[in-house]
Structure 1
Amino acid sequence: MIYSLENEKIKITVSEHGGELHSITGKKEGTEYLWNGNPEYWKYHAPHLFPIIGKLKDSKYRVDGKEYELPSHGLARISQFTLLSQSNESITFELKFSDKSLEVYPYKFSLQVTYDIKENSVKVSYKVINLDDKKIYFSIGAHPAFMCPIEKTEILEDYYLKFNEREDSSIMCFDRNTYFTHEKKDYLTNSDIIELKKDIFKDDALVFDDLKSNKITIKSKNHNKSLSVEFDGFPYMGIWAPADGAPFVCIEPWFGHADYGDFNGDFKDKEGIMFLEEGKEFSCSYIISIEE
């Protein structure tokens, strides 16, 4: 089922499947800012990444010596959520452990996703609750895809990404199987701009672990419409689009990342992994804002 929230400036729609945003529309001109999910390029809109982010080595991982298997980005984006609550400006969905989930992820959990709209923004909040009788381990992140170009008369090269701080930053490198190596490559030097072009993602995502910025804005060289993502506290940032020049760009704040190519350890030993003690919970959020 699809649900909607709106105020004078913005309208969003959200699906129970994946608890996923399907639309962010500016009401001034009816402009759509979220990717439409055209499967020719990418069938998702803004999936939630849980309990892993990116690829596991050979799609497998180990917990206390037992092997499990998960697809890239985990369970949440392919699962049915349940509506918990809804008001005029807020809606919350939950994904809870089940016998089926325990077969591939051996922890009892509740993942709650809340959307709050205010003025021209939507705040996306995550809450992970440990419902188990032991410590649980997980990663969590976001993968929203935004129309780029925003206007149909434009091309990708009309756009750039603007950081709210000047950066001296490197990107994490991939091997030929798109697992991370332990190498990094200099990418931004005293700069707050990434010019967008078709070959920018030829080696997969740009993944940063050392940004000073907590806000990235998609801007056009031709008009003032823009979209920004604020991501306080997230240690990793992925920026991605398919290498074939798809008309969208993803801005992805993460707690955790994909496997290194040489990682063979226990899940709890993954770099960037999160944990919760019995009965505890973890919360984080990011904010999407539009300017028209």
Structure 2
Amino acid sequence: MITLSNEALTISINEVGAELTSVIDKQTGYEFLWQGDPKYWERQAPVLFPNIGVFKENSYQYEGNTYHLNRHGFARDMEFVAQNVTNNSASFYIKSNEDTLKVYPFEFSFQITYILFDNRITVTYEILNPSSKEKIYYNVGGHPAFNVSHTSNKSGKPEFDEVSFHFEPSGQYLNIPFFEGGLTDRNKAKYTLVENIPLLHRTFKKDALVYQISEHTEVILNDPKNEVQVRMKPNRMNFMGIWSPYPAKASFVCLEPWAGLSDDVTATGDITEKYGVFELSPNEIMTHDYTMTFNKGPVSK
């Protein structure tokens, strides 16, 4: 476990999955990050690579061969190598190996860097294609879960307590619904106004809320009961998911910056034709990042 700390936050990162496991406010001791519970969701902030969500029929094709990859890929379960660790930054990496090539036929080097500055954490994903002749195709994203206020409603059932989110700038964003089995359905996508949207557990009855975003979009999760606000600003990540489990009712909400999407119901199965897939030429490097800002105390909406 790697720990970074400054005057505002102390954070912990597990080498398994290079997964963020704790974000503590130094002044109050408040834990921003969900601590995991198999009853609801055992993970905390998994890294999604080389795919996001699922493939249609749980498989894809490349150059005439069929491959099978589980939901959200394999990086979240791999042991990363820690390097360049300081008091306020740390990098982790994995590389392709015999096991990854069986399910993902591309050579790669994948590095994740965490930088702690004041009350902000910047997470950078760097994908390198070491091949001198073959392109690679990938998606990458984050899945951090944040503790939020929970209470009992009038029926005595667990419910979020005045939790909401909004986008800045506010406006109309393309909302892409899920179909059965975790596939998306872009034919039913609609533009919806995203400003001060209250969250209830039934909000996630049909899985996550997914929006196509621009490079200027920032998502803000508000929890006035806990006097907590979490802001997330993605860069080179074109979709944002908001999720909590259903029908299980847990006291966390995920903000998920994605460079890519789950397969659409109309997907051909060819990974080179996958909607939202990133293509990386030989010997090229691509970076994607997002910054989280953590506020504990009275905050303005």
Instruction: Report if TM-score (shorter chain) is over 0.5.
Output: yes
- Bigger shift: residues 208-217 or 197-206: 208-217
- Runs of at least 5 residues in structure 1 that lack an aligned partner in the other structure: none
**Residues 182 and 225 from structure 1, CA distance in 2 versus in 1: closer, same or farther, beyond 3 angstroms?**
closer
Distance in 2 between the 1:124 and 1:44 partners?
Answer: 18
Distance in 2 between the 1:51 and 1:147 partners?
Answer: 27
Where does residue 69 of structure 2 map in the other structure? 70
Q: Helix, strand or coil: the match of 2:221?
A: strand
> Following TM superposition, by how much is the alpha carbon of 1:224 offset from its aligned partner in structure 2, in angstroms?
3.4
1:163·1:213 contact (CA, 8 Å) conserved in 2? no
Instruction: Output the TM-score relative to the length of structure 1.
Output: 0.93
> Following TM superposition, by how much is the alpha carbon of 1:234 offset from its aligned partner in structure 2, in angstroms?
1.6
Instruction: Output the TM-score relative to the length of structure 2.
Output: 0.91
Distance in 1 between the 2:249 and 2:255 partners?
Answer: 16
Structure 2 residue 147 is matched with structure 1 residue 127 = no
Distance in 2 between the 1:210 and 1:11 partners?
Answer: 30
Where does residue 19 of structure 1 map in the other structure? 18
Structure 2 residue 265 is matched with structure 1 residue 261 = yes
**Residues 177 and 222 from structure 1, CA distance in 2 versus in 1: closer, same or farther, beyond 3 angstroms?**
closer
1:273 aligned to which of 249, 255, 277: 277
Where does residue 91 of structure 1 map in the other structure? 90
Counterparts of 1:164-243 in structure 2 under 5 Å?
164-186=168-190, 188-189=192-193, 191-210=194-213, 214-222=217-225, 224-243=227-246
1:32·1:150 contact (CA, 8 Å) conserved in 2? no
1:231·1:253 contact (CA, 8 Å) conserved in 2? yes
**Residues 223 and 262 from structure 1, CA distance in 2 versus in 1: closer, same or farther, beyond 3 angstroms?**
closer
Where does residue 148 of structure 2 map in the other structure? 148
Structure 2 residue 250 is matched with structure 1 residue 251 = no
> Following TM superposition, by how much is the alpha carbon of 1:55 offset from its aligned partner in structure 2, in angstroms?
0.7
Where does residue 60 of structure 1 map in the other structure? 59
Q: Helix, strand or coil: the match of 1:234?
A: coil
> Following TM superposition, by how much is the alpha carbon of 1:212 offset from its aligned partner in structure 2, in angstroms?
7.5
1:121·1:289 contact (CA, 8 Å) conserved in 2? yes
**Residues 90 and 210 from structure 1, CA distance in 2 versus in 1: closer, same or farther, beyond 3 angstroms?**
closer
Distance in 2 between the 1:175 and 1:229 partners?
Answer: 26
Q: Helix, strand or coil: the match of 1:77?
A: helix
In the alignment of these two chains, the number of paired residues is 289
Q: Helix, strand or coil: the match of 1:21?
A: strand
Structure 2 residue 115 is matched with structure 1 residue 116 = yes
Q: Pick the structure with more strand per residue.
A: 1
Distance in 2 between the 1:145 and 1:223 partners?
Answer: 16
> Following TM superposition, by how much is the alpha carbon of 1:56 offset from its aligned partner in structure 2, in angstroms?
0.9
**CA deviations over 1:215-266 (Å, ceiling 9, x no partner):** 1122123353211111133211111110122111111111110011232231
